Structure 1
Amino acid sequence: MLISTAYAQAAGGATGGGADLLIQLAPLVLIFIVFYFLMIRPQQKRMKEHRALLEAVRRGDVVVAGSGIIGKVAKVQDGEIVLEVAEGVRIRMLKSTVTEVRTKGQPVGDDAGK
């Protein structure tokens, strides 16, 4: 015969146990660590900065909303703000849609006595 008979070989990794499991899980753990530092952590930092920005919004600030509307804050309520976008034109918006504060307004009581 010109063709030799092939016999099955026994699996070599069946006796290792713990080391094989560690080798199999290492890439998954590494991927999670990379995702944490490249995606999750920066997003949490950005959310914290945005939350601080929203808490600092007060009357007189010029803000930019997520829709691109630029206006002056006329009134701040719990979850909403009233923007004056033109003289006599006021709109109510959710406070969370504010993306940027362009100029900070004067404190409310500064010019009251003058």
Structure 2
Amino acid sequence: MSEPSYPLWRHFPEPALLASRDLDSGELIFPALSADSPLAPRHETVPLAGVGEVYSFTVIHPSPRSGEAPYALGCVDLPGPVRLFGRLCGKPRPAIGDRYAARPDERFGYVFEAVRA
């Protein structure tokens, strides 16, 4: 996998997705803007809280010929506020309001893993 021109994650002290916050309005943009973006001077790069709640989801049922098992995709509301779309892992079927944590993923950049109560 090739490295993006700007980082998606901050890995220390704990992994956190990176966003850009508008210095005037506080609005968050995900993913973070690259340093060479004309908008960069008006934004700061900030880590996003890693745990949020499922807002909406769907379960995808790939063709049996693909060999892939069904999987869930959904929108997760993180504090900030920011709503992200991604793969939901760790439960066969998520529910609205379930808590999920963002984690790095080689294939997709990030996925959401169910948080056990």
> TM-score, normalised on structure 1?
0.23
Structure richer in helix, relative to its length: 1
> TM-score, normalised on structure 2?
0.23
Structure richer in strand, relative to its length: 2
Q: Which has the larger radius of gyration?
A: 1
